[in-house]
Amino acid sequence: MSGVQQLVGLAPLTLAGAAAMTFGAAYVRGLTGFGMAIILVPLLGLIIGPEEAVVLGILLQLLIGPVGIRLILADADRPTAIPIALLAMVTTPLGMVALDATPSGIARLLITLAAVLAFIAVLLPKHPDGHRPTRAAVAGTGFASGILTGFAAMPGPPVVPFYLRRALDPGVARASMLLIFFATAIAGTLAALWVGIATRKLFLIALILFPPMWLGNLVGARHFGRVPAHVWQAMVAAVLGLAAVSAVVRLLN
């Protein structure tokens, strides 16, 4: 047994597979502004427990969050992104407590349901130009995003439709989502430490997976500016659709 395997409890080949998964999910994050957790957490759940996969997904988002943070802060729609981020941070511990108390089978079912509902929501008609979301919509998005962060490391299902259904420049939508997801990663990490499910092993795995995650995010971010707005929006919907389909297939199997 290798030294790394003794430390993290994963065989080298399994760890290499996790690195490949992380690179692909991070590429999607860099390109679309979301999707890393939606894609990665169910895949990681195939090699570690679902609760560990959620915590690992949160830790990875925490590590990648500061990358490009100045540009994210400059481009984000701060009147909505900051309130959503703050509300999500407050409610993340509630989701973590729910995860700790939920049987694995039910947790997988609920995570699958969140992925499916996000895909359905993003297909709804867009709001007209000039639409400004109500305070209730902002609050509801923040609350739901926090709960799903703690429960599934997936703050995206409420946030992505919130921004994609508005007539926003893709750069603004992407930066707003990334800002919120960094905030939820901070709250999720603190909540995981509080509940006691963030272990040294998971921190070590997150550090090992950081290089492929950083590289995937870098490549995806470089491709972002070359994609027309309508193509970018279609790609975001496609990512949500694939995540929903794969989540259903994994649940049935």
Residue 226 has, within 13 A of its CA and on its CB side, a CA count of 6
**pLDDT on residue 176:** 93
Instruction: Tell me the average pLDDT across 103-128.
Output: 77
Tokens of 173: 């939508």
Alpha-carbon dihedral sign for residues 88, 131, 166, 127: positive
Residues 6-27 have pLDDT tens digits of 666 677 788 888 899 899 889 9
Tell whether the model's pLDDT for residue 215 goes beyond 90. Answer: yes
Q: Determine the Cα–Cα distance for residues 39 and 240; give it in Å rounded to an integer.
A: 9
121: containing domain: 3-252
Q: Which of 249, 246, 251 is nearest to 25 (CA)?
A: 246
Q: Determine the Cα–Cα distance for residues 238 and 45; give it in Å rounded to an integer.
A: 22
179 in Cβ contact with 85 (< 8 Å): yes
Residues 47-94 have pLDDT tens digits of 887 778 888 988 999 999 898 888 899 999 999 999 999 999 999 888
Residues 25-36 have pLDDT tens digits of 899 888 888 778
Instruction: Tell me the average pLDDT across 125-148.
Output: 85
Tell whether the model's pLDDT for residue 253 goes beyond 70. Answer: no
Tell whether the model's pLDDT for residue 1 goes beyond 70. Answer: no
Q: Determine the Cα–Cα distance for residues 150 and 91; give it in Å rounded to an integer.
A: 8
Structural domain count, the chain: 1
- What's the whole-model pTM score? 0.80
Instruction: Tell me the average pLDDT across 84-107.
Output: 85
**pLDDT on residue 87:** 94
Helices (H) and strands (E) in the chain, counts: 12, 0
**pLDDT on residue 3:** 63
**pLDDT on residue 5:** 65
